Amino acid sequence: MQATSRFEATASLQLHALISDLHWRVRMLEGDIDEEERNAGTTDPGSPTYSMLAQALRARRDNLRISIALLEARIERTTELQRAA
């Protein structure tokens, strides 16, 4: 039982560290998006002159946000299961 508890604690810490890193990466991407939009002179992704790089960065950022949400949901489910046990 103790080994499982240590494993669960380590896994939880690793997930929290991963989520923290992903949040940092999202912030970095947002800065890159802002800079690219300034360089391109448009912030409207629907504009024909919108930067393809900014579009790709937005897609990457959005994918990371989805990953963060899924990981946070996993932590929440695990916490609820531990409380129920």
- pLDDT tens-place string over residues 58-74: 999 999 999 999 999 99
Distance in angstroms (rounded) separating the CA atoms of residues 70 and 50:
30
% of the chain exceeding 70 in pLDDT: 95
Using one digit for the tens of pLDDT, what is the confidence trace for 14-39?
999 999 999 999 999 999 999 999 99
Residue % of the chain over a pLDDT of 90: 74
Helix (H, G, I), strand (E, B) or coil at 73: helix
> Model's pTM, two decimal places?
0.84
Q: What is the Cα–Cα distance from 43 to 32, expressed in whole angstroms?
A: 13
CA distances to 14, 38, 43, 85 from 17, in Å: 5, 32, 32, 25
Q: How confident is the model at residue 82 (pLDDT cuts 50, 70, 90)?
A: confident
Question: What is the pLDDT at residue 3?
Answer: 46
